């Protein structure tokens, strides 16, 4: 019977902790793969944008002799800034593939590794110029604290031991002398209003008086003759109404999006000589035809890179 008790206790203990095991299993099998898949999708889209930006660089600067290491560094720097942000600084060491291949442990290989760092920095500059970093961040709302006026505190001088400041000295106030009162101005006498003319009443008219007002010296009353005004001719009610023809619709003009002027590549990236024709910009890298006055296919190392 003892072994049955031990088995029952083990079963009950597993049941009591089953919720935690189920949550951990769900997080491991469902949540973590979704997070990784989402991050992988974001990185994949950023690499597509980096390739499009690299094609724009090739079209705007077709005479620059870019290397494959510079192109790789450009892609990594573009994706790194948009995905992780930062202050636009280059990494301390190159990727693993540059530390496990013997061709990078030579004089020319060290120049190619420096090309990777130059491309990484240039890719970050292009990513900063696009302004897309703000759309790859999570907005955080912070409470706005209203700042009032600063507190005014009187502190005792150093070494005073907390003594109070002496009372300020009284300030003598001088009372200004009031200005003299102005001289009163005499008020002019009011002018009497003119008396209106007096007319005769109807009773006085029946007795033979005139309705005209009395004549005054210097005033002449004349009769005015009305001037006939010619009637304005009106348009007939049955005049035909002419409807103007509708204007043709204006052509729809599609606005042209201006091409973003990219920053120039670093000065350490050389340009092709004048006798070398410009490589096609459709190529991922500037490939020069061989035997072009003994110009090598791979650009030479950069001795001025320090």
pLDDT at residue 225 in the model: 57
Reported confidence tier of residue 8, pLDDT bands at 50, 70, 90: low
The tens digit of pLDDT for each residue in 55-99 reads 999 999 999 999 999 999 999 999 999 998 888 788 899 999 898
Backbone angles phi, psi at 271, to 5 degrees: -105, 155
Residues 6+ positions from 114 with CB-CB distance below 8 Å: 268, 302, 305
> What DSSP string describes 189-256?
PPPPPPPPPP---HHHHHTT--SSPPP-TT----PPPPPP-PPPPPPPTTPPPPPPPPPPPPPP-PPP
> What DSSP string describes 129-178?
HHT-GGGGS-----PPPPP-PPP---PPPTTS-SPPPPPPPP---PPPPP
Task: Supply the pTM of this predicted model.
Answer: 0.53
Looking at mean pLDDT, say which of 29-33, 105-109, 194-198 comes out highest: 105-109
Q: Which residue has the tokens 């950069």?
A: 302
- Would you say residue 228 has pLDDT above 70? no
pLDDT above 90 covers a percentage of the chain that reads: 24
Taken as a whole, the chain contains a residue count of: 306
pLDDT at residue 181 in the model: 73
pLDDT at residue 19 in the model: 64
- Would you say residue 276 has pLDDT above 80? yes
Helix (H, G, I), strand (E, B) or coil at 258: coil
Q: Report the C-alpha gap between 32 and 82 in whole angstroms.
A: 23
- Would you say residue 202 has pLDDT above 70? no
Q: Higher pLDDT residue, 142 or 198?
A: 142
The tens digit of pLDDT for each residue in 29-65 reads 778 888 888 888 999 999 999 999 999 999 999 999 9
Reported confidence tier of residue 274, pLDDT bands at 50, 70, 90: confident
Q: Higher pLDDT residue, 124 or 238?
A: 124
- Would you say residue 5 has pLDDT above 50? yes
- Would you say residue 112 has pLDDT above 70? yes
Reported confidence tier of residue 25, pLDDT bands at 50, 70, 90: confident
Mean pLDDT of 202-211: 50
């Amino acid at each position: 019977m003892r072994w049955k008790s031990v088995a029952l206790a083990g079963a009950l203990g597993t049941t009591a902790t089953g919720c935690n095991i189920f949550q951990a299993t769900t997080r491991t099998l469902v949540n973590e793969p979704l997070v990784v898949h989402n991050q992988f999708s974001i990185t994949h889209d950023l690499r597509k944008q980096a390739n499009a930006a690299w094609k724009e660089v090739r079209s705007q600067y077709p005479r620059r002799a870019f290397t494959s290491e510079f192109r790789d560094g450009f892609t990594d720097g573009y994706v790194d800034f948009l995905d992780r942000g930062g202050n636009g600084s280059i990494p301390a060491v190159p990727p693993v593939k540059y530390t496990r291949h013997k061709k990078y442990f030579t004089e020319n290989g060290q120049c190619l590794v420096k090309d990777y760092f130059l491309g990484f920095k240039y890719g970050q500059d292009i990513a900063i110029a696009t302004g897309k970093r703000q759309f790859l961040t999570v907005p955080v709302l912070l409470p706005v604290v209203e700042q009032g006026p600063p507190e005014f505190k009187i502190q005792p001088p150093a070494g005073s031991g907390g003594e109070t400041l002496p009372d300020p000295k009284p300030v003598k106030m001088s009372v200004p002398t009031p200005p003299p009162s102005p001289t009163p101005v005499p008020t002019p006498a009011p002018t009497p209003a003119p008396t209106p003319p007096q007319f005769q009443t109807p009773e006085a008219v029946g007795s033979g008086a005139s309705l005209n007002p009395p004549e005054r010296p210097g005033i002449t009353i004349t009769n005015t003759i009305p001037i006939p005004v010619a009637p304005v001719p009106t348009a007939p009610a049955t005049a035909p109404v002419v409807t103007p023809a509708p204007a043709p619709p204006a052509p729809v003009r599609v606005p042209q999006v201006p091409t973003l002027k990219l920053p120039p590549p670093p000065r350490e990236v050389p340009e092709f000589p004048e006798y070398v024709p410009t490589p096609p910009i459709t190529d991922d890298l500037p490939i020069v035809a061989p035997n072009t006055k003994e110009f090598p296919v791979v650009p030479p190392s950069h001795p001025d890179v320090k």
